[in-house]
Copies of this chain bind each other. A is one copy, B any other.
Amino acid sequence: MATIHDVAKKAGVSVTTVSRVLNNRGYISEKTRNNVFRTMEELNYQPNELARSLLRKQSNLIGLIIPNVSHPFFSELASYVEYYAYQQNSKVLLCNSHMDPVKEKEYIEMLKRNRVDGIIMGSHTLEVDEYRNLNSPIVTIDRQIDENIPFISSDNYRGGQLATELLIQKGCRKIAHICGNLKLNMLANQRTQAFEELTGRHNIEHVTIQTDMNVFDQKQYEHIIHTLLQEHPDVDGIFSTSDIIAAFAIKECVRAGKRIPEDVRIIGYDDVNAANWIVPEITTVKQPIEEIGRLAIELIRKQLEDESFERQNILPVKLIERATT
């Protein structure tokens, strides 16, 4: 592959001149410029970004660490992150942690070795200290590490409220809530908090079940819900912490001969595309996935350019009522 030296030699100028043409800097005669451009075409020259990055200490690479892109929420998030990264000429390095602390840590180190401009953390299996001193720009999604590290989340407490309120208002007498692993200290736990406060206040019977929500384990989902329906056959409302789990809840309810929403009302979370193309369409709490992705990129950029930025970014959620309630 041609280098700047090849171009210079063939065009009969110095590398400095080629570099100037390339970066459109300094004074250059029109004739030289055209000559150089033509030569670059002829040699099919592509400047080596590795060399550039090394010199200017900026790779234009952004690391995205998530549990797994094959989960719809994260695939949509990744899509938006990539979209907005592209707008500012950044490239996205895709990292699936599979919720494995070892892999997550290795990925963080790999990203640092590659001198990424910043890291978007959508997976959180490590202790806070590990994140604190990796002094590269970072943004966390749905987890608050400390005062200085910006995070983005949607209003989880409000989301939990909206979901629970809807089920109560529809007349549910016994509500099950399926949430992620509460030990992980994610902001999403506030949904559960809201659920328990509201059901408690209204004196509604309720049961909370934890899963490793981020691990996309379909068998686990099926099993959990199957068990739930067996142990609590009188459940008439389910608030699940993702639309995918809600889909499994629908499936198990149908299998158990229950009608939706007549016998059981179900509400999901996220409003991923899938919520809209399954039957019955899932009532859900919409997270602004695009805005989360856009903001993540923006927060990385602002840290990089030493602009001021908001540490706490809590975005609004919205209740989307469809056919399952």
Contacts and interface: CB of A to CB of B under 8 A. Distances in A.
A93 B92 contact: yes
Given A70-B79, A82-B69, A92 B91 contact: no
Interface residues of A, number: 53
A70 B76 contact: yes
A109 B277 contact: no
Nearest to A109: B46
Which of A49, A59, A281 has the largest count of B CB atoms less than 10 A from its CB? A49
Interface stretch (A34-42, A226-234, A248-256): A248-256
B276 A274 contact: no
A40 to B, nearest CB: 12
A140 B274 CA distance: 28
A283 to B, nearest CB: 15
Contact of A46 (B112, B133, B276): B112
Nearest to A70: B79
Copies in the assembly, this chain: 2
A95 interface: yes
17 contacts: A1-B112, A46-B112, A47-B113, A48-B113, A50-B59, A51-B54, A68-B79, A69-B69, A69-B78, A70-B78, A70-B79, A82-B94, A218-B273, A251-B279, A251-B281, A254-B279, A277-B278
A78 B54 CA distance: 28
A114 interface: yes
A53 interface: yes
Contact of A91 (B83, B114, B221): B114
Contacts of A70: 72, 75-76, 78-79, 273
A94 B92 contact: yes
A105 interface: no
